[in-house]
Amino acid sequence: MDAPARHLRLLTETIAAVNSTLDLEEVLGLVARKVAEALEADACFVYLYDARADELVLRATHGTRVEEMTRRPKMRPGEGITGSAAAERTPIMIAAEAHLDPRFKSFSNLPEDEYESILAVPILAREKLAGALNVRTRRPREFTDAEVELLVAIAGQVAQTIEHAQLYADAQRRVGELEALARISEAVSESLYLEESLEAIVNATMEAVDATGAALVLEDGGVARPEGRAGAFAVRIPLRWKGRQIGELVCDRDTDFTADERALLASIAHHAAVALEHGRTVMRGVLAQEIHHRVKNNLQTVASLLRLQARAEDGVDPRKALDDSVNRILAIAAVHEVLTEQREEEVDLGELLDRLRAMLVQGIGAGKRVEAELSSVSLAGNRATALALVFSELFQNALEHGGDEVRIELASRNGSALLAITDDGGVDGDVPTGTGLSIVRALVRDELGGSFELRSDRGTRAEVVFPA
């Protein structure tokens, strides 16, 4: 077969091979292998042109493995022999000692100096630079005009295939980006819990850009949802809401991020900012609703106690009635304070009763010796308010009417809780009565679902047992 016929067949086979797929990496690998085979060269290097960076980036090789390179060789048009062919839009052929040419550019991880000859041609798509490729031989070789024309023809056809593959890759990447943003939007809109939204954002971020790690750093410096590990490259994208930075999206990877990936991360950061503000708004609304609910319930309790006090017929001094009401209100406030500090729905009764003890001793228990043995018992907030009122009435009564010593006990017993207040005063066999004890009995029965017992025998002992 004569040379023109052989070249035509090689051109046809090469183009058919590279047109068999739209996967860009596969296309470039086929180009490198088929071109080297067509011209019986020892190596072929294929560069793609990155217009944004104005760089030719080595993307595929035959004769050396580009996948094993830690840093891909790059050059600007005009640099090196291949870069000069790209800049001048014309083939460059050097038959021997190509590494001695003044235009030669060496790369520490690319052994081009072991080759004698080079034939480099630009890859042009409708007169626009798309890349460049070269073939190399270890022995000196003078490429014929026909071989140069063959490589130019292959490069021209390959340019269209590369363009189509890039469009396909861009479309696939865009689909992936839209899917990632859709997942984030869904998580932000559907979840009422900020933690769930942040977790979805971090996981989607890592998947979208194949990251080794990601995290959301909040404006106070706290880190929310850290996942994975640090990489050689990191990008930090600010989270902005109404012109104010409220945090950062941090993403790590072992390879650098492209401009498109940084743009995607910027979109994700916007969604993260929306999620943060959405979650905070929801939590503020829930918190406000809970505060209003508690305040309303507490005010209703205060009103009920004041009405009960007003209807009392036991001849209580107005000043003492007012002091008693103040102490009841302070007991309710202590429960609210504990709930607010802990930000939980349950109260540690040991801590609560210790606060109330200190408050009442300071007010009316001067000179009394008070011993307390308080176990850790948890109770829901609404029931804790009832118990605080019960304790306040019983402890105040012991301080006012008991002897010099008062003992407080809080313990767990077989799924129930025991509150006991004992003093060394009182009259044997005389069980006190009054408005305060009426309040205690009502609260223990209706709010705590427990039992109340008051005994007077060489002192007074009040016991409250209720389900814990």
CA atoms of 265 and 356, how far apart (whole Å): 53
Distance of CA 407 to the CA centre of its chain: 50
pLDDT of residue 281: 59
The 10s digit of each residue's pLDDT in 421-465 is 998 875 444 445 566 777 788 888 888 888 999 888 778 889 999
The 10s digit of each residue's pLDDT in 227-267 is 677 778 888 888 887 778 888 888 888 888 888 788 888 88
CA atoms of 360 and 74, how far apart (whole Å): 79
Lowest mean pLDDT across 47-61, 135-149, 296-310, 400-414: 296-310
Helix or strand (DSSP H, E) at 388: helix 381-401
User: 58 or 64, which is more confident?
Assistant: 58
Residues 415-451 as b or e (16 or more Cβ within 10 Å = b): eebbbbbbbebbeeeeeeeebbbebbebbbeebbebe
**CB of 429 closer than 8 Å to CB of 393:** no
- Give the pair of three-digit tokens for residue 40: 């019986």
- The residue-averaged pLDDT of 180-193 equals 60
The 10s digit of each residue's pLDDT in 385-421 is 788 888 888 888 888 777 788 899 999 888 889 999 9
- The residue-averaged pLDDT of 132-156 equals 89
pLDDT of residue 86: 93
Q: Does residue 146 carry a pLDDT above 70?
A: yes
Selection from 122, 163, 138, 159 nearest residue 36 by Cα: 138
Residue 55 confidence class, pLDDT cut points 50, 70, 90: very high
Q: Does residue 141 carry a pLDDT above 90?
A: yes
- The residue-averaged pLDDT of 189-209 equals 69
Counting residues of the chain whose pLDDT is more than 70, the rounded percentage is 68
Selection from 56, 39, 192 nearest residue 117 by Cα: 39
- Give the pair of three-digit tokens for residue 121: 């041609």
CA atoms of 38 and 6, how far apart (whole Å): 9
Q: Terminal CA-to-CA distance of the chain, rounded, Å?
A: 98
Q: Does residue 121 carry a pLDDT above 90?
A: yes
Residue written as token pair 């979650």: 279
**In the chain, what are the domain boundaries?**
3-170, 191-277, 312-467
The class level of CATH for 3-170 reads alpha beta
pLDDT of residue 222: 61
Q: Does residue 301 carry a pLDDT above 70?
A: no
Residues 322-339 as b or e (16 or more Cβ within 10 Å = b): eebeebbbbbbebbbebb
- Tell me the one-letter amino acid at 68: E
User: 124 or 224, which is more confident?
Assistant: 124
Which sign, positive or negative, has the C-alpha torsion 110, 113, 118, 122? positive
The class level of CATH for 312-467 reads alpha beta
pLDDT of residue 3: 62
pLDDT of residue 83: 93
The 10s digit of each residue's pLDDT in 313-348 is 555 566 666 666 666 666 666 665 665 555 556 778
pLDDT of residue 270: 80
- The residue-averaged pLDDT of 2-30 equals 70
Which residues make Cβ contacts (< 8 Å) with residue 105, sequence separation at least 6? 75, 79, 80, 81, 83
Which residues make Cβ contacts (< 8 Å) with residue 405, sequence separation at least 6? 368, 369, 370, 371, 423, 424
Check for a shared fold between 3-170 and 312-467.
Answer: no
Give the best-scoring range by mean pLDDT among 92-96, 125-129, 152-156, 185-189.
92-96
User: 384 or 134, which is more confident?
Assistant: 134
Order of all β-strands in the sheet with 405-413: 369-374, 405-413, 416-423, 460-467, 451-456
Decide the pairing of beta strands 405-413 and 369-374. parallel
pLDDT of residue 142: 93
pLDDT of residue 427: 47
Q: Phi and psi at residue 70, in whole multiples of 5°?
A: -70, -30
CA atoms of 104 and 236, how far apart (whole Å): 38
pLDDT of residue 85: 94
CA atoms of 99 and 81, how far apart (whole Å): 9
- The residue-averaged pLDDT of 190-207 equals 69
User: 122 or 108, which is more confident?
Assistant: 122
Q: Does residue 96 carry a pLDDT above 50?
A: yes
Domain 191-277, CATH: 3.30.450.40
Q: Coil, strand, or helix at residue 235?
A: strand
The 10s digit of each residue's pLDDT in 214-231 is 888 877 666 666 667 777
pLDDT of residue 116: 92
Distances (CA, A) of 99 to 74, 94, 96, 108, 324: 17, 10, 9, 13, 100
